[in-house]
A and B are shown apart, each in its own frame.
Chain A
Amino acid sequence: MTEPQITVNGRSRPLVGTPDHTNALDFLRGLGLTGAKEGCAEGECGACAVLVARPDGDGSRWTPVNACLVPALALDGQEVVTAEGLGDPGDLHPVQAELAVRGGSQCGYCTPGFVCSMAAEYYRPDRSANDEPDPEHGPNGFDLHAIGGNLCRCTGYRPIRDAAWALGAPDPTDPLAERQAGAAPAVAATRVAGFARPADLAEALALLAEHPDATVVAGSTDWGVEANLRGRRASYVVAVDRLPELRGLSTDGVVEIGAGLTLSEVEAMLGDTVPLLAQVWPQFASRLIRNGATIGGNLVTASPIGDLAPALLALDATLVLASADGDREVTLAEFFTGYRETLLRPGELLRAVRVPTPLAEHTTFRKIAKRRYDDISSVAVAIALDVVDDTVVRARIGLGGVAATPIRARATEAVLEGRPWTAETVEAASDALANEGTPIDDQRASAAYRSAMLGNALRAWWAAS
């Protein structure tokens, strides 16, 4: 087995002796690459963003991630580029040059992270000139959501937006553009003290049997926060996000999504196949987080405020749980058993998420939060209705932020089913919806507001349709 190492800005950097709790940010800074900064240590500010070469079909994609959340060991065998690797003060990268001349940096602390997020969008292969720019998409096809996970406290963002929208297309001889034509680095089978990246599902299950207390990580966007902010330490870490058995996606009959796919990958692979999910992505965390976080990780953490669970509840999703004894399938609605508790047994892994078809005809996702981009829901409501001859024949509603777990709004569903799809029904159902769950007062919202938002979700949808 080769010694663990990361290729950083084209140079191999050994990982020997790196503790499992050392994140990639601290590792890079320890090398003297201090461009990436710690701003929040929880993936909210993007000051630590770096580029990682990730698979994209037969080629690869420069994918920005929050280095503060990823264990350095999880990048074994990978290629990383930092702001230092993109250009020098005397030889700026096009993204760097645009930011610099337009006043895109003031204090400069967030800037290297912005540079990396912007560079990824600059190199995005399907970015192209856009004849109908809108407030979020520039004439060059640059999508501002690409920098929705980067915070700047100085500029107010206008010069950053202008820099983003001034970018041209990469020169074909640009080495980073050329690199994307080649395959991403192979997945390393890392095995060091305290950290393992098994090669396949069988090995992963065997490791979990061997280390019953192991912490399973995928994108580490939840675990990284626990480790950084709350000082949690794992006795043993098993990384599962690159297991081939967890990375399939098929839409043949049932939609089956591998639990180890990142949200960005699922978003790209599904396209508009599941319209409700297509509504969720732009409102779900940030591009930086979606590049790391996996669909499986998002469900297994069982956060009461995860945005995906309400949508998947409305879609009647089921989960395939794999263990040494084989697979079992459970509904998502029964999967959540309590605050951050699930049916998952020790030694078991979430392998895939299944969405039955045909999909409901009418779906909507409504997220209520303080901030437009990259915020945590106060309330999330996903609704899926089948309406036949103006009558609601089937209603599924998933809610986040109003109970200890994501829940189904069963009372409201019952009010809707069998009734005509009319304003009167919407009112009756809205009154029921406002009484679902057990919302609480916290720093994000008051209980009264949460209930009001539940009640208004259907009304707003009705008014818009």
Chain B
Amino acid sequence: MSVGQALPHESAAEHVTGHALFTDDLVHRTPHVLHAHPVCSPHAHARVTRLDPSPALAVDGVVRVLTVDDVPGVNDAGVKHDEPLFPDEVMFVGHAVCWVLAETLEAARLGALAVEVDYEPLPAIVALTEAIEAESFQGGRPVVARGDVEQGLAAAAHVFSGVTEMAGQEHFYLETHASLALVDESGQVFVQSSTQHPTETQEIVAHVLGRESHAVTVQCLRMGGGFGGKEMQPHGFAAIAALGATLTGRPVRLRLNRTHDMTMTGKRHGFHAQWRVGFDDDGRLVALEATLTSDGGWSLDLSEPVLARALCHVDNAYWIPHVLLHGRVARTHKTSQTAFRGFGGPQGMLVIEDVLGRCAPLLGIDPVDLRRRNFYVDGQATPYGQVVRHPERVAVAWDQVVSTGEVVRRREEIAAFNAAHEHTKRALAVTPLKFGISFNFTAFNQAGALVHVYKDGSVLINHGGTEMGQGLHTKMLQVAATSLGIPLERVRLAPTRTDKVPNTSATAASSSADLNGGAVKDACDQITARLREFDEGRDLPWDDLVREAYFGRVQLWAAGFYRTEGIHWDSTRMTGHPFKYFAYGVAAAEVEVDGFTGAHRTRRVDIVHDVGDSLSPLVDIGQIEGGFAQGVGWLTLEDLRWDESDGPGRGRLTTQSASTYKLPSIGELPDELHVALLEHAHEDGVVYGSKAVGEPPLMLAFAVREALREAAASFGPEGTSVELASPATPEAVFWAVQRARGVTCTG
């Protein structure tokens, strides 16, 4: 059987040899390609008063400059009609006002430099706090409420308040955005795109071109990472390439270089949260009131659903009787922030973990005990009204981590180490995770697949999900082989394209294996049922059965469909049962902090994570470890900085390259990393009892942040409560250490 086997990625042999093709690798196989280069705004906010492309046309090799006058359809790169593809008012530094097409990338670059644009600068809001001050908001203002917060706080034995701020995060998929568009021999617009959402890319291309969806096909071979950054952001770039191809009759390639990618595309939302919390004498949470404001950037993009998910995850794994959560999306003159692994969940959860981490010393309760005693128990519901199923899994995972990670013994050793070392301190923290699986928006919870059995017994599958490294295709091959009862080698998977499976949802929300796996299995089950009926109990070998069935005029292919049952969501009242189930996990992290510099390293991490019955353990462990590392990057290293000065660079992203924006390298790998999958975790009603794994492990990284907080506190007297900036870079940790020591500091 294939499902449950630990298999390498289906493209591993192609990856390691350089044979796996990505969108931009196709350029060298495509004759007569034109290259596109943007003309980008130097202003954070300005009106375009004049745009003269003619000097560009004088540059050798320049073929055409695409401007708003070229758009036959709708001048919009998004679905909310708030993202003009060619703007007359630029809204962030890097906003493209037009695109130059040329025979070479060099010519296109020089052409872009030659385009003359006049701007009338307008006031710009850059920092999130400026937006809050100016009441610059966009979109809805959702509220999640349960009980009576005022009464809860009034009755609480201990009430604390505070502000928690957290930075965003650059996706930094290694492959930047890329599209290659051409008009084929039948007049179809064919776009190869590095996109997590081929259907929406198709729809945006169609509406920009003024064509119907059936005239546009989008294919995604694979992505060199997505992480949410290619859920909405690719559409406009694909539309530019497609527009260029239709106007010139030649293939057009658009690939952002890293600088463009970082300055032009959206990121994880930074958040600001103001909170009041009440605990009883035993440290049980009684009430929480919080206002969460996300930095949405210049347009809405996915900011509203990201905010909704944030509000739905402030509780994390903890029962809070009285809750009142307000949500707002700030409008700032920055890139339009978007989906990023966790989709607001991490930001919501960071609030409660920050609250607990800060309040534990004030309550005089060990943070390990404080977290453990606030877990949901059977029968309790989330603030938005969904009963938490299997809450005991958090406790089981927790106790396993504490036991196999020898947490009690190691914390004693750490205490001894800290007593003996003045300038170096260690700490070990444990944090839980509960993450809701399904798109909050119910309609997205559907998927399709196409399965062909050929006369020779070989099988070809297509499904609506895209491969970005997460191993979805590996899992789908395993699902198909298992449900058809044939060896994995007999099944091939063809790249995702919109003319095979239409109307797909984004490969997002961790749910692609659930949804597409359900659809693949549905198609396979249909075929199996027909074959079984035809077989009439003869038990023919697969190849014989297929061949005979063909001659018996049995349909050997099927379209599969899946929709998640039992979920509903009222987005106005912010109540319902939006999630099919919750994914659980627990992490314990031990860190060491250097008091002279704030530099830190992670000595050991123990993780127990719930993936249900794993479809593909090697893939799942890869997702757990990779998600954890990305979370550690967000929380401790990756440091997005924008120019918030009043100088000429105002609004500019000052960390717009790999040399200034640092993501984890192998030096950040914990010295020891132990990952276990939670046992006895079968999930009813999901394909082969599995659970989603893409996003949740990112939030295991809170253990590292909390350990850093506790290590910093160890530099001060017993019971010191430490406020730790996010990201907790060495500098941020250094200032936290200084505050713990009682040193007044200027940082």
Contacts and interface: CB of A to CB of B under 8 A. Distances in A.
Do A and B pair up? The answer is yes
Interface of A: 19, 21, 29-30, 32-42, 44-45, 47, 82-84, 86-90, 92, 95-97, 99-112, 115, 135, 144, 147-161, 225, 228-229, 231, 368-376, 378, 442-446, 448-449, 452-453, 456, 459-460, 463
Nearest to B641: A443
Interface string B163-185: 00000000111111000000000
A84 B12 CA distance: 14
B22 interface: yes
Given A89-B19, A107-B222, A144-B666, 11 more contacts: A30-B28, A96-B16, A103-B622, A106-B470, A153-B173, A153-B630, A156-B630, A373-B666, A375-B662, A460-B594, A460-B596
A443 B659 contact: no
B54 interface: no
Nearest to B665: A373
Interface in B1-38: 8-9, 11-22, 25, 28-29
**Which 6 A-B residue pairings sit nearest by Cβ, starting from the closest?**
A35-B18, A107-B469, A109-B224, A108-B15, A156-B629, A44-B658
A372 B668 contact: yes
Contacts of B18: 33-36, 82-84, 111-112, 115
Contacts of A103: 8-9, 12, 618-619, 621-622
Contact of A105 (B9, B21, B423, B668): B9
Contacts of B29: 32
Contacts of A444: 660
A108 B224 CA distance: 6
6 contacts: A40-B659, A44-B659, A107-B174, A108-B11, A108-B222, A154-B469
Contacts of A376: 659-660
A148 B658 contact: no
Interface in B99-127: 106, 109, 113
A370 B734 CA distance: 12
Which of B174, B222, B601 has the most CB atoms of chain A within a 10 A radius of its CB?
B174
Interface in B590-623: 594, 596-597, 599, 601, 618-619, 621-622
A106 to B, nearest CB: 4
Contact of B13 (A89, A151, A369): A89
A44 B20 CA distance: 22
B729 A370 contact: yes
Contacts, number: 264
A19 B110 CA distance: 15
Which of B9, B471, B619, B666 has the most CB atoms of chain A within a 10 A radius of its CB?
B666
A38 B745 CA distance: 42
A390 B339 CA distance: 61
Contact of A151 (B21, B627, B658, B669): B658
Contacts of A34: 18, 21-22, 25, 28
A107 B666 contact: no
B17 A88 contact: yes
B609 to A, nearest CB: 13
B584 to A, nearest CB: 20
Contacts of B668: 157, 371-372
Contacts of A155: 622, 625-626, 629
A371 B667 contact: yes
A107 B747 contact: no
Interface string B638-676: 010100000000000011011110111111110101000
A45 B658 contact: yes
Main SS at interface, chain B: loop
B385 interface: no
Given A107-B173, A153-B227, A370 B597 contact: no
Contacts of A159: 622, 625
Classify chain B: how many residues form its interface, as a range: 35 or more
Contacts of A100: 8-9, 12-13, 15-16
Contacts of A147: 666
Contacts of B11: 105, 108
B404 interface: no
B665 A151 contact: yes
B468 interface: yes
Given A107-B175, A159-B622, A371 B662 contact: yes
Contacts of A86: 17
Nearest to A136: B667
Contacts of A41: 257-258
Given A100-B12, A159-B622, A29 B28 contact: yes
B745 A148 contact: no
A105 B8 CA distance: 9
Interface of B: 8-9, 11-22, 25, 28-29, 106, 109, 113, 171-176, 222-225, 227, 257-259, 422-423, 468-471, 594, 596-597, 599, 601, 618-619, 621-622, 625-630, 637, 639, 641, 654-655, 657-660, 662-669, 671, 673, 729-731, 734-735, 745-747
A107 B21 CA distance: 11
A452 B9 CA distance: 47
A83 B174 contact: no
A448 B639 CA distance: 17
Contacts of A101: 8, 12
Contacts of A374: 665, 667
A449 B734 contact: yes
A41 B224 CA distance: 16
Contact of A39 (B258, B627, B630, B665): B258
A135 B12 contact: no
A146 B20 CA distance: 24
A442 to B, nearest CB: 7
A163 to B, nearest CB: 10
A106 B671 contact: no
B225 A153 contact: yes
Given A106-B470, A108-B15, A37 B22 contact: yes
Contacts of A153: 171-174, 225, 227, 626, 630, 663
Contacts of A87: 16-17
A20 to B, nearest CB: 12
Contacts of B19: 35, 84, 88-89
Contacts of B659: 40, 42, 44, 225, 376
A37 B224 contact: yes
Which of B21, B227, B597, B663 has the most CB atoms of chain A within a 10 A radius of its CB?
B597
Contacts of B175: 37, 39, 107, 109
A115 B20 CA distance: 14
A105 B470 CA distance: 10
Given A373-B667, A443-B654, A47 B747 contact: no
Contact of A89 (B17, B468, B596, B669): B17
Contacts of A106: 9, 469-471, 622, 626
Nearest to A442: B654
Contacts of B106: 19, 21
B571 to A, nearest CB: 32
B657 A92 contact: no
Contact of B174 (A109, A149, A225, A228): A109
A99 B618 CA distance: 13
Contact of B669 (A44, A156, A445): A156
Contacts of A369: 730
Nearest to A444: B660
A87 B625 CA distance: 28
Contacts of B637: 370-371
Given A84-B17, A371-B668, A40 B658 contact: yes
Given A153-B663, A156-B629, A40 B622 contact: no
Which of B259, B597, B654, B665 has the most CB atoms of chain A within a 10 A radius of its CB?
B665
A105 B15 contact: yes
A29 B225 CA distance: 20
Nearest to A107: B469
B660 A108 contact: no
B492 to A, nearest CB: 14
Nearest to A453: B597
A244 B630 CA distance: 46
Contacts of B660: 376, 443-444
